[in-house]
Each structure stands twice: as C-alpha cells, then as structure tokens.
Amino acid sequence: MIVIGLTGSIGMGKTTTAALFADEGVPVNDADKVVHDLYRGEAVEPISRAFPEAVVAGVVDRQSLSQNLAKNPANFKILEEIVHPLVRAREEAFLARHREQGTPVVVLDIPLLFETAGEGRMDKIVVVSCAPEIQRRRVLSRPGMSQEKFDVILSRQIPDALKRARADYVIDTGHGIDSARAQVRSILRQLSEQTGRPDHA
C-alpha cells in the first residue's frame, strides 16, 4: 500500500485537492476532520483541564481556543501534546484498516506534515501550492480572518518554497479545478505504473 502524505500551507487548496483524490476512489484520512471529531470526543477532557474556558457545553469551542493561542503562543505546545497522540492513533487505525483490505493507495491529509516531522511515515509526499497573491486572496476572504491572524498561522508553517523542495509531487491549484484534477490523475497514473496496479482514474 502506498501512503501519500498530502500537505500545503493555508489557502493553497489542500482541502479541494484531497477531495479530488477521493473522487478518484482513493481513501483520505483528513487530520483536520479528525481533530474536529476529537474536539467533541476524546480530547474534551484533557483540553478542559489545560484550557477550561475553551470547553463549552461539553465540546471544545474552537474560537475560544484560538483566542487563547493568539494571546499565548506558548500554549500551542501544550495543545499539540494533547491532540497529536490522539490524531496519530486515529491515523494508525485508518492505515491498519486499509492494509487489511488491500487498498493500493491512501492519502493522509496532514496540514502540518513537515512541521511535525511526519514525512518519514509517508511513501510519497504531495505538496499543494499556488502563487502567494492567490493564497493571500483566498485566506483573507475567509470569514473571521484578518491579516494579523494570517501572519500568526504563516509563522507556524514552513515556507511554501521549502515544502515544494521536499515534495515528490507538487500540485499547483492556481489554474482552476480541472487543472488540479488532471494533476491528481497524473500522479495516480505514475504510482500505478510504479506498482503495476490498475490506475484509479
């Protein structure tokens, strides 16, 4: 089974690209969705101990947590120590399930793949990228986003150029959905040729 690590900085189009892999029949484990689920489940109790104001009505209030982290960036490490092991456990269960099923290719959608030194667990790394002005326009159009918040997020992410340099494949999402889909299909074709398995496309 080929494990693809899919990553990219904020606003690069990673979520859309993950959906394109899913459209081609490739199972995707989305770390952000896993975190969202954990914030309603296993992560609630440990986060309530570390950040009591961030738990409202039995679930983690992401906005309150974000405000806390913006004021106290050092708290990111505390949060990561709580959340990362839980995310890894879900990831390992996903991989075990698909290995048992004989799935040829899976995608692990991990926003902070390089930042958490996760690349060693992947067989191939796909970085999603676009021009900086497109990235900025996309991010600042999001509800509740500000230049200050954008800058904080970027400060925690490895620069795009370094991610691209470390990738096996780069998908440029700056030319529309059809172009991105063609790039996804091209990658899957190349992987199927390497393994001798049928193409997903």
Other beta carbons within 10 angstroms of residue 197's beta carbon come to 12
What would the pLDDT profile of 73-126 be if each residue is shown by its tens digit? Answer: 889 999 999 999 999 999 999 999 999 999 999 999 998 899 888 999 999 999
**Window from 24-28, 85-89, 116-120, 193-197 with minimum mean pLDDT:** 193-197
C-alpha span between 77 and 98 (Å, rounded):
31
C-alpha span between 132 and 135 (Å, rounded):
5
Mean pLDDT value across the chain:
93
Look up the domain containing 43 and give its range: 34-102
Residue 198 belongs to some domain of the structure: no
The CATH number that applies at residue 179 is 3.40.50.300
Cα-flanking dihedrals φ and ψ of residue 72, to 5°? -130, 75
pLDDT tops 60 at residue 3: yes
The residue ranking higher by pLDDT, 68 or 60, is 60
Residue 200 belongs to some domain of the structure: no
Q: Tell me which of 80, 102, 124 is where a domain ends.
A: 102
Q: Tell me which of 102, 128, 159 is where a domain ends.
A: 102
What would the pLDDT profile of 29-47 be if each residue is shown by its tens digit? Answer: 999 899 999 999 999 999 9
201 falls in which pLDDT band (50, 70, 90)?
very low
Percent of the chain scoring above 90 in pLDDT: 80
C-alpha span between 182 and 58 (Å, rounded):
43
Q: Tell me which of 60, 76, 102 is where a domain ends.
A: 102
Other beta carbons within 10 angstroms of residue 107's beta carbon come to 24
Q: Are residues 85 and 162 in the same domain?
A: no
Of 54, 49, 121, the closest CA to residue 87 belongs to 121
Q: What is the mean pLDDT of residues 21-28?
A: 98
Cα-flanking dihedrals φ and ψ of residue 33, to 5°? -65, -35
pLDDT tops 90 at residue 200: no
The reported pLDDT for the residue numbered 71 is: 87
196 falls in which pLDDT band (50, 70, 90)?
low
The reported pLDDT for the residue numbered 112 is: 87
Number of structural domains in the chain: 2
Q: Are residues 173 and 85 in the same domain?
A: no
Residue 147 belongs to some domain of the structure: yes
Q: Are residues 43 and 135 in the same domain?
A: no
